[in-house]
Amino acid sequence: MIKPSVWQLLACPACGGELESRGNAAVRAACSRCAAEYAGSDQQLDLRLHSPRTVSIAFDLQEPLLPPQGFDFGPLRPNPAPQIPEFTQIPIPKLLRSGNRLIPELLSYFPRSSTGGTMLDLGCGDKDFEEICRHTKLDYVGLDYGGARPDLLGDAHALPFKDDAFDFVVSFAVLEHLRYPFVAMREAFRILKPGCLFIGTVAFLEPFHMDSYAHLTHLGTYNVLKHAGFEVQAVAPNQQWSALHALGNMILYPRLPKLACDAVVAPTYWLHRLWWKLGYAVDPKPRTSEQYRLPATTGGFRFVVRKPS
């Protein structure tokens, strides 16, 4: 059942007006402003756009292109002050760890509420992350564009929520599938409460998959999130999911078991690592360093950002 507390967060994706609950079998919600009607059931509400919606985004062409000097694009370090202190003891199922998804270091940044609240899993798929998100003690809401499992069907480019609705937002391996990432990240910023976190991952050197659009570099990831208004705390390369591993598992050897695929890729991967070490030993400079290699060869990035208070 869609909780009354979630109904209070909903807004018309077309105009932002208040949504009123309806008991009609064909119409479950209607907008008090534009009169748009949305279908669904007690278990799932369909809040996808029914008609075209035009949005405009402004870009400041004189804004600095690069992050502040000294911004660390290295591997993600555990949060020194985790709100979920037992994060290292929380088992992360293999499905959630596969590819460019969740790791303990990322979990260490998850908040924990003592006063309630609600979190959004943006692009939730089959809600695989719902169980692990319970450690936040926030009510979980899963949204995706299709499927039978999400609580809500909606478009990331036109989220059906009021401003400042959520206490936490996650989005794992979704950003690359969004046609207009600048629009979607502005929407994520809009529906997040000030001072709260948005955590997720995005593909970089993964092959094209599932109609993906925006495979972002570390600078591209930083730029999209910063432009939306977020304070960027971390953009970190996935050390375990290199371009070689991503290509091998996802497109070069489809349906080959992961262990076998990794074994096939291993000689090239370790030769590559050795070559870079030799290169740095012969010519030590930033462009031959490990700090340059990691974000240049990873399959994807993890990010931790906050909406300013």
What is the structure's pLDDT at 64?
A: 83
pTM: 0.96
CA distance 58 to 308: 20
pLDDT in tens, 261-295: 999 999 999 999 999 999 999 999 999 999 999 99
Which residue, chain included where needed, has tokens 């609600």?
118
- Rounded average pLDDT over 216-230: 97
Regarding whether 130 and 43 lie in a shared domain, the answer is no
* pLDDT band of 42, cuts 50, 70, 90: confident
pLDDT in tens, 154-195: 999 999 999 999 999 999 999 999 999 999 999 999 999 999
Q: In the chain, where does DSSP find H-type helix? A: 4-7, 94-97, 104-107, 130-133, 181-191, 218-228, 243-247, 258-282, 290-297
Instruction: Answer yes or no: are the C-beta atoms of 246 and 237 closer than 8 Å.
Output: no
Domain assignment present for residue 75? The answer is no
CB neighbour list of residue 252: distance below 8 Å, 6 or more residues apart: 261
Regarding whether 226 and 94 lie in a shared domain, the answer is yes
Regarding whether 283 and 192 lie in a shared domain, the answer is no
**How many domains, the chain?**
3
Parent domain of 221: 87-240+300-306
Regarding whether 227 and 152 lie in a shared domain, the answer is yes
Instruction: Answer yes or no: are the C-beta atoms of 87 and 104 closer than 8 Å.
Output: yes
Check residues 21 and 300 and name the one with the higher pLDDT: 300
Regarding whether 128 and 177 lie in a shared domain, the answer is yes
CATH number at residue 91: 3.40.50.150
Domain assignment present for residue 148? The answer is yes
Regarding whether 256 and 285 lie in a shared domain, the answer is yes
Domain assignment present for residue 73? The answer is no
Instruction: Answer yes or no: are the C-beta atoms of 157 and 195 closer than 8 Å.
Output: no
**Tokens standing for residue 176:** 């690359």
What is the structure's pLDDT at 25?
A: 67
Domain assignment present for residue 232? The answer is yes
pLDDT in tens, 46-96: 999 999 999 999 999 998 888 988 899 999 999 999 999 999 999 999 999
pLDDT in tens, 66-77: 898 889 999 999
* pLDDT band of 133, cuts 50, 70, 90: very high
Domain assignment present for residue 21? The answer is yes
Domain assignment present for residue 82? The answer is no
Domain assignment present for residue 282? The answer is yes
Regarding whether 28 and 170 lie in a shared domain, the answer is no
Regarding whether 281 and 233 lie in a shared domain, the answer is no
What is the structure's pLDDT at 43?
A: 87
3-state helix, strand, coil in the chain (%, to 5): 30, 20, 50
What is the structure's pLDDT at 26?
A: 79
What is the structure's pLDDT at 23?
A: 80
